[in-house]
């Protein structure tokens, strides 16, 4: 089942550029997000990511096209109850404590005072901030503010959570902790929609990604599909004799990278196993073999450069 369905979504801002053109923030964007997925929306600055999230939240309206959440139009009030949101560059009044911020958003989502004490600290603990609950947030670091923002997005126990740059300003250990929280939410069956510039993180956590550039959808698919380059396998081995190298070159049409590494384009896993069988009968020590992959980052840079 799709939790989010977007069809030909278009958003033009009437604010004119110097040239007099309208700003085309989104141009006929279509994709779906499945139930229980961690979905990553990527794109360079100004690609339209925040605009798309704001349309899904009903904060701004599309010029054309449609967007549905849980099979209902995004303006439906019941849909909003099921959604949590961590905005980009969020600001909370800095004279409040962490606990007061979460309580405030809990009340806004309709939680009763009696439930709040437990619930507030449950979520502060989940993001590693329970010991800071009574400290005024003006004393928080950027990373602590992001964690608080994440707790705020979870307070109403939503089924779908939008996070706009959740790890912005968070150190590597904090980012790992936030990833663990997101995986925990996924295990509870929640759907997570993530906007991020941090491609290595998206690669680690997302089931599916969409790449936007200048308002247009450039690619959508699983991280595996987007980063796999074809059927090229790389073998690393102990020293290869002259005879074995010849066999790899001629029979397996491989390319040698010195005496301890070669690559072959192989179309089936059975064929891969034949190469392994050959190496083992020839007493070659196999150190490792892997299917060649592009990192999401190099894929992303290639795609964006092609379009510019
Ligand atoms: N309220 C607005 N009025 C006019 N133009 C806007 C408005 N909001 C966004 N834009 C324009 O729409 C385009 C997309 O902006 P958006 O904030 O969605 O990009 P983004 O992908 O989130 O960028 P970033 O990675 O920097 O957060 C930009 O050209 C931006 O200037
Ligand atoms: Mg943005």
- CATH number, position 159: 3.40.50.300
81 CA from centroid of ligand 1 (Å)? 26
Measured distance CA(231)–CA(241) in Å, rounded: 25
Residue 304 lies in a domain: no
The structural domain count of the chain equals: 2
Task: Write down the residue that tokens 């997570």 correspond to.
Answer: 192
pLDDT in tens, 27-47: 999 999 999 999 999 998 899
Instruction: Name the residue of 10, 16, 17, 25 whose CB sits within 8 Å of the most ligand 1 atoms, as the mutation to test its pocket.
Output: 25
Residue 91 lies in a domain: yes
- Predicted local distance difference test score (pLDDT) of residue 20: 67
170 CA from centroid of ligand 2 (Å)? 17
Q: What are phi and psi of 128, to 5 degrees?
A: 70, 30
Instruction: Name the residue of 23, 193, 195 whose CB sits within 8 Å of the most ligand 1 atoms, as the mutation to test its pocket.
Output: 23
State the ligand closest to the CA atom of 211: 1
Measured distance CA(97)–CA(134) in Å, rounded: 5
Measured distance CA(40)–CA(171) in Å, rounded: 20
- Predicted local distance difference test score (pLDDT) of residue 115: 82
Measured distance CA(135)–CA(286) in Å, rounded: 56
- If asked whether residues 143 and 168 sit together in one domain, one would say yes
Residue list, ligand 1 pocket, CB within 6 Å: 13, 15, 23, 25, 43, 45-51, 88
- If asked whether residues 196 and 263 sit together in one domain, one would say no
Cβ(196)–Cβ(42) below 8 Å: yes
User: Is residue 99 within a helix (H) or strand (E), and if so which, with residue range?
Assistant: helix 98-108
- Predicted local distance difference test score (pLDDT) of residue 18: 64
- Predicted local distance difference test score (pLDDT) of residue 63: 95
214 CA from centroid of ligand 1 (Å)? 10
pLDDT in tens, 146-181: 899 999 999 999 999 999 988 877 888 888 888 888
Last residue of a domain, which of 176, 194, 225?
225
Report CA 112 to chain centroid distance, whole Å. Answer: 33
This prediction has a pTM of: 0.83
Give the bridge partners for 9, in sequence order.
29
200 CA from centroid of ligand 2 (Å)? 18
Instruction: Enter the tokens of residue 49.
Output: 């990511």
Rg (CA), the chain: 24
pLDDT beneath 50, residues of the chain: none
- If asked whether residues 172 and 198 sit together in one domain, one would say yes
């Amino acid at each position: 089942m799709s939790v989010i369905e977007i069809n030909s979504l278009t958003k033009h801002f009437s604010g004119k550029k110097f040239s007099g053109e309208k700003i085309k923030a989104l141009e006929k964007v279509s994709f779906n997000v499945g139930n229980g997925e961690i979905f990553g929306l990527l794109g360079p600055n100004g690609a339209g990511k925040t605009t798309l999230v704001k349309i899904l939240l009903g904060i701004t309206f599309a010029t054309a096209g449609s967007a549905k959440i849980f099979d209902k139009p995004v303006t439906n009030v019941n849909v909003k109850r099921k959604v949590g949101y961590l905005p980009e560059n969020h600001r909370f009044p800095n004279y409040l404590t962490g606990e007061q911020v979460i309580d405030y958003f809990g009340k806004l989502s309709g939680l009763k005072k009696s439930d709040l004490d437990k619930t507030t600290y449950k979520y502060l603990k989940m993001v590693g901030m329970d010991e800071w609950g009574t400290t005024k947030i003006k004393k928080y670091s950027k990373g602590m503010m992001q964690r608080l923002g994440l707790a705020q997005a979870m307070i109403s126990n939503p089924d779908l959570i939008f996070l706009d740059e959740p790890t912005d300003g968070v150190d590597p250990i904090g980012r790992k902790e936030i990833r663990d929280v997101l995986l925990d939410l996924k295990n509870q069956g929640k759907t997570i929609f993530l906007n991020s510039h941090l491609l290595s993180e998206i690669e680690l956590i997302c089931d599916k990604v969409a790449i936007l550039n200048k308002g247009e959808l450039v690619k959508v698919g699983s991280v595996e599909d987007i980063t796999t380059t074809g059927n090229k396998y790389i073998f690393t081995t102990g020293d290869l004799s002259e005879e074995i190298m010849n066999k790899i070159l001629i029979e397996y049409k491989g390319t040698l990278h010195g005496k301890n590494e070669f690559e072959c384009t192989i179309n089936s896993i059975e064929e891969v196993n034949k190469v392994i069988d050959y190496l083992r009968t020839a007493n070659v020590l196999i150190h490792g073999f892997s299917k060649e992959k592009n990192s999401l980052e190099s894929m992303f840079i290639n795609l964006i450069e092609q379009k510019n």
